[in-house]
Amino acid sequence: MRSPQETQPTSHQPATETPVARRSIFREDAVHRYIAGQEKTVLPQLVSPRTFTYLWVLLGVLGASSAIAWFARIPIYATGAAVVVRWRDQPTDAQRIVVAAFLPPQSLARLQQAETAMLHLDGLDKSSQNEGRRPILVVQPEVLSPETIQQQFALNPSVAQQVNRPAAIVIMPLEPIASGLPASAYLGSVGRVEAEVGTRKLISFLPLIEQRFAD
């Protein structure tokens, strides 16, 4: 017979394992940097640095151009037909050969302030820097009708056809004459006159802005 010690089952207790700390093959600071990099928002690179510089330069040019267009002013001219006629000088009651210019009626008020006008007529002196420029002797105070103009200046029918609407009248001297011909040889000659009647901002010539200035 077996003794009680022999029949009692032997209890097997598992051996207690010593925990072994697992070590990562990556350094701790490298892991932190990797995680921080993953959390950053990466924006797509839409334009290159050179293109970005060009855009800034273009913006600067547009700004400078806008400033120049806003402050720069250009002269405004009233234009019309000019005829060489005989004219009686009221103070001296003497007749002389002059140029009568027929300009738009709306320019009458500003013509009162004008001092010179540019005359375009064949045979005049054009050797100087201010070629064809003449002083304004008289600006008639009222706008005249075509019939009154024809009677006052004795225009021939062919010239009268060019003065077919009301006009403001400007009188200028004919001389100097480059051809050496007498002034009487130019009676009835027809040309063009440009008289400066003011200035206007350059930017106002843009289509949309022009309408705003007109309003």
Does residue 173 sit within a domain? Answer: yes
Q: CA 76, 79, 84, 85 torsion: positive or negative?
A: negative
What per-residue confidence (pLDDT) applies to 59? 85
CB 193 within 8 A of CB 101: yes
Domain assignment present for 187: yes
Q: Is residue 168 a part of any domain in this protein?
A: yes
What is the pLDDT, as a whole number, of residue 170?
A: 95
110 falls within a domain: yes
**Within a domain: 121:** yes
**Is there a contact between 184 and 84 (Cβ–Cβ < 8 Å)?**
no
* Alpha-carbon radius of gyration of the chain: 47
In a domain, 65, yes or no: no
- Give per-residue pLDDT as tens, 79-89: 999 999 998 87
Residue 89 lies in a domain: yes
pLDDT value at residue 42: 55
Task: Strands of the chain (E only): list them.
Answer: 73-89, 94-103, 116-120, 133-135, 138-139, 168-173, 190-201
Q: Is residue 36 part of a domain?
A: no
Query: What is the span of the domain harbouring residue 96?
Result: 75-203
Q: Look at residue 27 in the predicted model and tell me its pLDDT.
A: 67
pLDDT at position 103, please? 94
Number of domains in the chain: 1
Low-confidence ranges of the chain (pLDDT < 50): 1, 11-12, 14-21, 129, 214-215
Backbone angles phi, psi at 114, to 5 degrees: -75, 145
CATH of the domain at 150: 2.40.30.170
**Residue in the structure block whose two tokens are 């050496």:** 180
List, for residues 120-164, the tens digit of each pLDDT value: 987 676 655 456 889 999 999 999 999 999 888 888 888 888 888
